[in-house]
Amino acid sequence: MRWTKQETRSILLGLAFASPWLVGFTLFTVYPILASMYYSFTEFTGLEITAFVGLGNYIHMITKDELFHKSLYNTLYYLVLAVPLGFVVAMALALALNLKIREISFYRTCVYIPNIVPAFASSFIWLWLLNSEYGLVNLLLEQIGIWGPAWVSDPKWAKFSIVLMVQRGAGGSAMIFLASLHDVPRSLFEVADLDGATWWVKFRYITLPMISPVVLFHVIMALFGAFQVFTPAYIMTAGGPANSTLFYVLYLYRNAFNYGKMGYASAMAWLLFILALITTLVVMKTSARFVYYQGEER
């Protein structure tokens, strides 16, 4: 099929208008991705390539690097704990903000505001809140007779401290859930009320199935965020104590910018991409059993 002169002119004109984005996408996205793939097979310091090692970086990472295994364990531990807890917190907030009460707009604003505070600033705030000696959290616990732990300085509590801190951003997910709750047909709840259904039955068999596509979106985004957790650990604990919060991306950062092992860091980045891709594919493959799309025939 041949294009007419008018069609060719329209295509060229469209490409001309899109060229700034195309050039930027090529230079700042496509090239870095391809370059990092090549560097992952080399010993690259950031300034020069000293040797081509093939799969050496990957083999060393998997078989000999104990800190790699530690960072991967910490990240998976964080993922298993933070993703379900984040869903529960966000959903609870959404259900509370869906109530018909006065000043609900004010409460919604209060819930969402922490989400727009930069993670860098929030980390410093929570570092003070979780201070074992004069932190507000332990002071409040003392009022009810509980001696609070040394949150960020105790290896047993450090990861949970990070999990607790990141819940400050649950307001964003809560707003998304809240919007999806408004799309659930009221008629379904009216029928359930006539049958004498409890709030849990209505939530389990009406609300959750009807908003399940949004829940799937939340889970996938939460998984991506868990794999890439960095700022809280970097600011609050610097990977300590005893490497208990040395998450994968923090260790990748150290290899790249502290140790000058850009090639090794590139290999870590690609392995992280593969892990995230496999996890996402598994979630998407199994989601058909739990996700309901309105209008879809089953």
pLDDT in tens, 12-44: 898 899 999 999 999 999 999 999 999 999 999
Domain boundaries, the chain: 5-57, 65-287
43 forms beta bridges with 51
Q: 45 — phi, psi (to 5°)?
A: -95, -5
In the chain, % helix, strand, coil (3-state, to 5) comes to: 70, 0, 25
Q: Taking the model in full, what pTM does it have?
A: 0.88
Tokens 């950062």: give the residue.
Answer: 253
d(CA 134, CA 128): 8
Cα within 13 Å of Cα(117), Cβ side? 20
Q: 118 — phi, psi (to 5°)?
A: -55, 145
End-to-end, the C-alpha distance of the chain in Å comes to: 40
CA-closest candidate to residue 36, choices 17, 20, 57:
57
d(CA 187, CA 165): 39
pLDDT tens digits in sequence order for the chain, 298 residues long: 677 888 888 888 988 999 999 999 999 999 999 999 999 999 998 888 989 999 999 999 999 999 999 999 999 999 999 999 999 999 999 999 998 888 888 889 988 988 888 888 888 888 888 888 888 888 888 888 888 888 988 899 999 999 999 988 888 999 999 999 988 888 888 898 888 888 899 999 999 989 999 999 999 999 999 999 999 999 999 998 999 999 999 999 999 999 999 999 999 999 999 999 999 999 999 888 888 886 555 5
Containing H/E element for 52? Answer: strand 49-52
CA-closest candidate to residue 236, choices 148, 157, 170:
157
d(CA 133, CA 128): 10
Six-digit token string for 273: 């991409």
Q: How far is CA 157 from CA 70, 106, 129, in A?
A: 16, 34, 14
CA-closest candidate to residue 220, choices 149, 278, 266, 268:
278
Tokens 């531990």: give the residue.
Answer: 77
CATH class of 65-287: mainly alpha
- Buried b / exposed e over 87-125, threshold 16 CB at 10 Å, is bebbbebbbebbeeeeeeeeebeebbeeeeeebeebbee
Burial of 167 (0-12, 13-18, 19+ CB in 10 A): middle
Residue 169: what pLDDT? 86
CA-closest candidate to residue 42, choices 25, 57, 27:
57
**What is the tens place of the pLDDT at every residue in 159-196?**
999 999 998 888 899 999 999 998 888 888 889 888 88
d(CA 206, CA 199): 10
Determine if the peptide bond prior to 149 is cis (ω within 30°): no
